[in-house]
């Protein structure tokens, strides 16, 4: 995982650029630069061998002018406060871009979940939840899954919070198992949002999606599901990768079978009929659409000039640095930014939250229809903003998001 400081500086740079174009008042710009609250906790748990270890946890609540804080919790050995702060800020903009009544937050625990048992992860999750308990809640801050956390993690958080409250509170988290009032379609929601953005980009570029070549860096939940959805739409998936490396096939590959191979072997590499490539090589392959769905700052000043894709659709958070953005814009490569492209996850999280508050359950068709409507509308709004100000889509998305958040702050006022 890349430098948290670099990532935060990148996020602040994007905000500054938008604030200058919009002529945001200095005080409101300063307000949006700083998270409202940062909580750092030491999480002691007893490991399976009897040893007690202490893990560092953090929860950053960036801004709640438009509604409760919303954002995932990640488990990773390289989590930093700066990284989580940047991600919380991005969540504020992401929610505003798709016009959800949320602000942004993010959480993280410094640990290596690959080296921990399920029991140890449960203890870690429940202890962490108990330590941030007073700062979360259905109308305050609603966590969700992120890197190396999943529906099971959310079930543990929901149960811990509910046990403390004394009654079931499913709406305290989203991304839960469907059997615990999670929403249908949530697991692949981020990927479906990415796929919808690829389809809308194909329309805008006047390229048929059927037969369009797609390379995907990162074959985790987002990347693998996006590959399958786009494959079903008729696109040709030519390359995918995971942390161990990637594979390439000029004739295209079946992502469903690649996923079976990965589940059996632990990686996509050495898949029959494909050439093994590095993650770096995947980024520079000639293709119609490149989807970076791994970690941040993967497309940077060192490799941006070698990108051969017609468009980059960001499945990951912050995969492109500001300098790379500039290079790609000058090259004529369209970049659909993360705060739009991967907003499908938070959109269906919102739909899950609404279902929970109403104690209703919607069909998959209802959920996907509402997701489609939100993403298509947001895509059109971002495109309109970028054309109006003659800027790239990331700047257009930021202008749209920052203007909405700034307006909420302005109307609420600074009290007392």
Task: Report pLDDT digits (tens) over 195-237.
Answer: 999 999 999 999 999 999 999 999 998 999 999 999 999 999 9
Alpha helices in 146-285 (DSSP H): 151-165, 189-204, 221-233, 255-265, 279-283
Q: What is the pLDDT of residues 334-350, one digit of tens each?
A: 999 999 999 999 999 99
Tell whether 147 and 196 lie within a shared domain. Answer: no
Alpha carbon distance 377, 397 (integer Å): 12
Give the pLDDT confidence of 346-376 residue by residue, as tens digits. 999 999 999 999 999 999 999 999 999 999 9
Domain stops at, among 341, 365, 396: 341
Q: Assess whether 71 and 124 both reside in one domain.
A: yes
342 — phi, psi (to 5°)?
A: -105, 25
- Asked whether residue 213 is domain-assigned, the answer is yes
Number of domains into which the chain is organized? 2
250 and 287, same domain (yes or no): yes
280 within some domain: yes
Contact 94, 375 (CB under 8 A): no
User: Where a domain ends, among 279, 311, 341?
Assistant: 341
CA dihedral 133, 138, 140, 141 (to 10 degrees): 70
What is the domain-level CATH number for residue 206? 3.40.50.720
pTM, entire model: 0.92
- Indicate if 271 and 335 belong to the same structural domain: yes
Asked if residue 325 is part of any domain, the answer here is yes
For residue 319, give every residue at least 6 positions away whose Cβ sits within 8 Å of its Cβ, in sequence order, or none.
Answer: 217, 292, 293, 294, 295, 296, 297, 298, 299, 338
Q: Which domain holds residue 196?
A: 189-341
Query: Does 180 fall in a domain?
Result: no
Among residues 70, 106, 236, 262, which one is catalytic?
106
CATH number for the domain spanning 129: value is 3.40.50.10860
Is residue 85 one of the residues assigned to a domain? Answer: yes
Residues 6+ apart with CB under 8 A from 302: none
User: Same domain for 72 and 161?
Assistant: yes
Q: Which of 341, 363, 390 is the last residue of a domain?
A: 341
The confidence score (pLDDT) of residue 1 equals 44
Task: Tell me phi and psi for residue 360, to 5 degrees.
Answer: -115, 160
- The pLDDT tens digits for 24-72 are 999 999 999 999 999 999 999 999 999 999 999 999 999 999 999 999 9
Residue 413 lies in a domain: no
Q: Are 321 and 301 in contact (CB under 8 A)?
A: yes
Is position 106 annotated as part of the catalytic site?
yes
CA distance 154 to 166: 18
Indicate if 73 and 210 belong to the same structural domain.
no
């Amino acid at each position: 995982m890349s430098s948290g400081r670099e990532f935060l500086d990148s996020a602040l740079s994007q905000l500054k650029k938008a604030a200058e174009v919009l002529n945001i008042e200095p005080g409101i710009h300063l307000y949006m630069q700083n998270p409202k609250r940062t909580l750092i906790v030491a999480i002691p748990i007893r490991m399976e061998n009897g040893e007690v270890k202490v893990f560092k946890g953090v929860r950053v609540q960036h801004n709640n002018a438009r509604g409760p804080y919303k954002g995932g919790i990640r488990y990773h050995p390289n989590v930093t406060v700066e990284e989580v702060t940047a991600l919380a800020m991005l969540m504020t903009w992401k929610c505003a871009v798709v016009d959800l009544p949320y602000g942004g937050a993010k959480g993280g625990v410094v640990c290596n979940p690959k080296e921990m048992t399920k029991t140890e992860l449960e203890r870690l999750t429940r202890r962490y939840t108990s330590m941030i308990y007073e700062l979360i809640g259905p109308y305050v801050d609603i966590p969700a899954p992120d890197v190396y956390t999943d529906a099971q993690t959310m079930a543990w958080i929901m149960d811990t919070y509910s046990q403390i409250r004394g009654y079931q509170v499913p709406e305290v988290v989203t991304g839960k198992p469907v059997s615990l009032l999670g929403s249908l379609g949530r697991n692949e929601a981020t990927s479906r949002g990415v796929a919808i953005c690829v389809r809308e980009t194909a329309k805008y570029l006047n390229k048929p999606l059927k037969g369009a070549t797609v390379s995907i860096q990162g074959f985790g939940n987002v990347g693998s599901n996006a590959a399958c959805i786009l494959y079903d739409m008729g696109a040709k998936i030519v390359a995918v990768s995971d942390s161990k490396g990637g594979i390439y096939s000029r004739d295209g590959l079946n992502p469903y079978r690649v996923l079976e191979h990965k589940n059996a072997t632990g990686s996509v590499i050495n898949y029959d009929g494909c050439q093994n490539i590095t993650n770096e090589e995947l980024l520079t392959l000639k293709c119609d659409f490149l989807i970076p769905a791994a970690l941040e700052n993967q497309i940077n000043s060192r490799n941006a000039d070698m990108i051969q894709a017609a468009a980059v659709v960001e499945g990951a958070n912050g995969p492109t640095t500001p300098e790379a953005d500039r290079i790609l814009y000058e090259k004529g490569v369209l970049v659909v930014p993360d705060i739009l492209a991967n907003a499908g996850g938070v959109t269906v999280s919102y739909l899950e939250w609404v279902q929970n508050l109403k104690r209703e359950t919607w069909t998959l068709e209802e959920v996907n229809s509402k997701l489609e409507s939100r993403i298509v509308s947001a895509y059109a709004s971002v495109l309109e903003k970028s054309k109006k100000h003659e800027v790239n889509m990331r700047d257009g998305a930021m202008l749209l998001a920052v203007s909405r958040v700034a307006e909420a702050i302005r109307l609420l006022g600074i009290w007392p």
